[in-house]
Amino acid sequence: MQNERENKLSNDVKITDIKKRPMEKLLYSVIYLLSGSVILLVIYFIATILIRGLPQISWEFLSTAPNPIKHTIGILPSIINTLYIIVFTLILCVPIGVGGAIYLNEYAKNKKFVEIIEFAAETLSGIPSILYGVFGYVVFCLLLDLKVSLIAGILTLTIMVLPIMIRTTQEALKAVPKSYREGALGMGATKWYMVRTILLPSSLKGILTGIILSIGRMVSESAALLLVAGGSAMYMPKGSIFDQLGSSGSTLSVELYRYAYSRGETEVAFGIAAVLLIIVISLNLLTRYVAKKIQASGGTKES
C-alpha cells in the first residue's frame, strides 16, 4: 500500500515537472534574451560615444575655455562647474536623505505619516525636471535673491534627488533582517548605537546605489540647470569657491545640449559626451571604493 502511494506521488511529481518544464524554459529564454539585448544596447551606446568622442578630446579641449575670436573650443569651465554641482549637491542631499530615511524607518511611530511621505517621495521622483527648474527659479533665484547661479542649481538638484536618496535608503534599511536589530537591542545597545553600527553598515550597498543614481540624475540634467544655473561657459572660474558658486555657469550636460542642438556641432557634442561618461564612471568607481573602505574600517562582512 505504501509503495503504491509512493509510486503515485512520484508519478504526480513527474507529470507536473513535464508540464512546467517547457514554460520555464520559455520564460528563462525570454529573460536571457531581454537581458542580453539590454547589455548589447549599453555596450553599443558606450562604444558609439567613445569611438566618436575620444578623437575630439585633446589637451586644449580639456584645459581651456571656448574662445570665439580664435575659433577654439574648450570645456574646462564646464568640467569645473559640473564637479561643483555634483560634490556640493551630494554634501547636502546625502545627510538629509539618509537621515530622513532612518527617521521614517526606525523612529517614526505614525504609520500614516510615513505612508504619506513615501507616496510624496515616489510622486516627486516622477515629476519632469523642467518643473523643478521653474520652482528653483521662482524660489531660489527670485524669492531668496540668489540670482541665476550655481548655488541655485545645487539647491534645485538637491530637492530633485532627495526622493531618490530617501526611497533607496529606506528599502536598504528594510532589507536588514529584524534579528540584527533585536540582537543589538537585546545586548543593551541604544537605538542610535544600533543604527550607527549595525543598520548603516549593513545597508551601505543600498545607500551606495542611491548615491550612484543621484549622480546619474545630476550629470544628465540640463533643462532645470538652464533656468537656475545659467548657460555661460565662456570664462574660467575666478576667485574663491564661494564666489564661483555665486556666479552663473554651464555644466557639461548643458554644453552638450547647446553644441548638439543649438549649434549643430555633433562631433564636439560627442567629445563632451565622452568626457561626461568618463567622469560618471570614475565617480561611480570612487564611490564604491570609498564604501568598501568604510565597510572594511567598520569591520563589517558581507553575509
Model confidence at 232: pLDDT above 70: no
134 within domain boundaries: yes
Q: pLDDT value at position 110? A: 85
Helix (H, G, I), strand (E, B) or coil at 166: helix
Q: pLDDT value at position 155? A: 93
Mean pLDDT to the nearest integer, 137-141? 92
Mean pLDDT to the nearest integer, 84-97? 92
Residues 52, 63, single domain; the answer is no
Task: Select from 281, 238, 258, 255 the least CA-distant residue to 78.
Answer: 255
Residues 100, 159, single domain; the answer is yes
Residues 31, 66, single domain; the answer is no
Contacts by residues 218-222 (CB-CB < 8 Å, ≥ 24 positions apart): 218/85, 218/86, 218/89, 218/157, 218/161, 219/82, 219/86, 219/251, 219/252, 219/253, 219/276, 219/279, 219/280, 220/253, 221/129, 221/157, 221/160, 221/251, 221/253, 222/251, 222/253, 222/254, 222/256, 222/257
Model confidence at 303: pLDDT above 80: no
Q: What is the share, in percent, of the chain residues with pLDDT greater than 70? A: 88
pLDDT in tens, 18-48: 455 777 878 888 999 999 999 999 999 999 9
CA angle 300, 301, 303 (to 5 degrees): 130
Mean pLDDT to the nearest integer, 164-179? 88
Q: pLDDT value at position 7? A: 56
CA-to-CA separations, 2 to 6, 8, 15, 16, in angstroms, rounded: 6, 10, 20, 21
Residues 47, 72, single domain; the answer is no
Residues 160, 204, single domain; the answer is yes
Residues 78, 161, single domain; the answer is yes
- The CA distance from 19 to 21, in Å, is 6
Residue 139's pLDDT band, with cuts at 50, 70 and 90, is very high
Structural domain for 40, as ranges? 2-56
206 within domain boundaries: yes
Q: Which one-letter amino acid corresponds to residue 67?
A: N
Residues 49, 183, single domain; the answer is no
Residue 8's pLDDT band, with cuts at 50, 70 and 90, is low
Residues 83, 201, single domain; the answer is yes
Residues 181, 250, single domain; the answer is yes
- The CA distance from 32 to 165, in Å, is 30
**The domain boundary residue, chosen from 17, 38, 56:** 56
Number of domains into which the chain is organized: 2
66 within domain boundaries: yes
195 within domain boundaries: yes
302 within domain boundaries: no
**The domain boundary residue, chosen from 56, 75, 93:** 56
Eight-state DSSP code of residue 127 = S
Q: pLDDT value at position 234? A: 64
CB 222 within 8 A of CB 253: yes
State how far Cα 264 lies from the chain centre.
Answer: 29
Mean pLDDT to the nearest integer, 260-274? 85
CA angle 152, 153, 155 (to 5 degrees): 65
- CATH number of the domain that 264 lies in? 1.10.3720.10
Residues 276, 203, single domain; the answer is yes
- The CA distance from 181 to 163, in Å, is 25
303 within domain boundaries: no
Mean pLDDT to the nearest integer, 95-122? 88
101 within domain boundaries: yes
102 within domain boundaries: yes
**The domain boundary residue, chosen from 22, 38, 56:** 56
Residues 167, 190, single domain; the answer is yes
Residue 15 pairs in a beta bridge with none
Residue 301's pLDDT band, with cuts at 50, 70 and 90, is very low
Residues 274, 158, single domain; the answer is yes
Low-confidence winner among 8-12, 153-157, 173-177 (lowest mean pLDDT): 8-12
Low-confidence winner among 67-76, 129-138, 175-184, 279-288 (lowest mean pLDDT): 67-76
Mean pLDDT to the nearest integer, 256-284? 86
Q: Which one-letter amino acid corresponds to residue 154?
A: I
Q: Is the model more confident about 17 or about 107? A: 107
pLDDT in tens, 152-161: 999 999 999 9
Residue 300's pLDDT band, with cuts at 50, 70 and 90, is very low
